[in-house]
């Protein structure tokens, strides 16, 4: 059985609610870091961190440059920065060109995470109105990771999940309420799997 080292998540339109539904189902001692990109306003004031803290048992913060990703945390890409994972599991922030009209870009996170963590990586694509995340999820799958996508019919905006399904051989297509329990089952809990 594969031991998963990290979970990466991408969401756009409707993503705050969707990610909160998934993350709030995870235990405080979830045995991997959850690293997420949400398409949010570049001028966001960070309110979304407290939005997640209020309902999640995992700890929540914006990712910092050179910070080590550790289990039991939900890391969020800061507004207007691409979030990348280095080979040593630390974060790198970039103000490089927008990808799929977005910064942060889901593809940028997913592709760098595939290099760092695969095959021990789970990629999750949630609701959204563009195709960001599709090529990154394809790379995760190609490198031996697991691909999970929200059921387009369950999503506030189904285009992004559908784009991911169309471009990748997906392992699971699930409703939001099923995702947290699946991740808990696949990843387990630290010191008590």
Q: What is the pLDDT of residues 52-100, one digit of tens each?
A: 999 999 999 999 999 999 999 999 999 999 999 999 999 999 999 998 8
Other CB atoms within 10 Å distance of the CB of residue 129: 16
- Residue 21: its pLDDT value, please? 97
CA distance 189 to 28: 8
Q: Average pLDDT for residues 140-153, to the nearest whole number?
A: 98
What pLDDT does 44 receive?
81
The confidence band for 152, taking pLDDT boundaries of 50, 70 and 90, is: very high
| pTM of the predicted model over 0.85 | yes
Separation of alpha carbons 185 and 37, rounded Å: 23
Q: Give residue 95's region: left, alpha or beta (phi > 0; psi -120 to 50).
A: alpha
pLDDT, position 73: 98
What CATH number did the domain enclosing 173 receive? 3.40.50.180
Output the pLDDT for position 75: 98
Query: Does the pLDDT value for residue 142 go beyond 50?
Result: yes
- Residue 156, in any domain of the structure: yes
Mean pLDDT over 18-26 rounds to 97
Contact by Cβ (8 Å): 19, 44: no
88-137 residue pLDDT tens: 999 999 999 998 889 999 999 999 999 999 999 999 999 999 999 999 99
Residue 135 lies in a domain: yes
Report if residue 54 sits inside a domain.
yes
Range of the structural domain that residue 15 is part of: 6-187
**How many structural domains is the chain composed of?**
1
Q: Is residue 193 part of a domain?
A: no
Q: Considering the domain boundaries, does residue 192 fall inside one? A: no
> Alpha-carbon distance 120 to 174, whole Å?
20
Residue 2 has pLDDT above 80, yes or no: no
**Domain-embedded: residue 20:** yes
Active site residues: 12, 39, 132
**How far apart, in Å, are the Cα atoms of 191 and each of 29, 57, 117?**
8, 16, 21
pLDDT band at 1 (very low <50, low <70, confident <90, very high): low
Digit-coded pLDDT (tens) for 177-192 = 999 999 999 999 987 5
Q: Which two tokens stand for residue 151?
A: 């059921």
Percent of the chain clearing pLDDT 70 (strictly above):
98
């Amino acid at each position: 059985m594969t031991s998963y080292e990290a979970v990466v998540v991408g969401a756009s339109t409707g993503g705050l609610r969707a990610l909160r539904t998934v993350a709030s189902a995870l235990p405080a001692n979830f045995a991997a870091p959850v690293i997420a990109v949400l398409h949010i306003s570049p001028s966001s004031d960070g309110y979304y961190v407290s939005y997640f803290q209020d309902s999640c048992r995992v700890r929540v913060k914006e990712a910092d440059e050179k910070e080590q990703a550790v289990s039991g945390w939900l890391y969020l890409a800061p507004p207007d920065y691409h979030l990348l994972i280095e080979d040593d599991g630390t974060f790198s922030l970039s103000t490089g060109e927008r990808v799929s009209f977005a910064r942060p870009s889901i593809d940028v996170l997913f592709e760098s995470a595939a290099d760092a963590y695969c095959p021990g990586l789970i990629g999750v694509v949630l609701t959204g109105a563009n195709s960001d995340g599709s090529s990154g999820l394809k790379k995760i799958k190609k490198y031996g990771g697991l691909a999970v996508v929200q059921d387009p019919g369950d999503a506030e905006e189904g285009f992004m999940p559908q784009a991911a399904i169309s471009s990748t051989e997906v392992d699971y297509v699930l409703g939001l309420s099923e995702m947290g329990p699946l991740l808990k089952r696949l990843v387990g809990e630290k010191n008590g799997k």
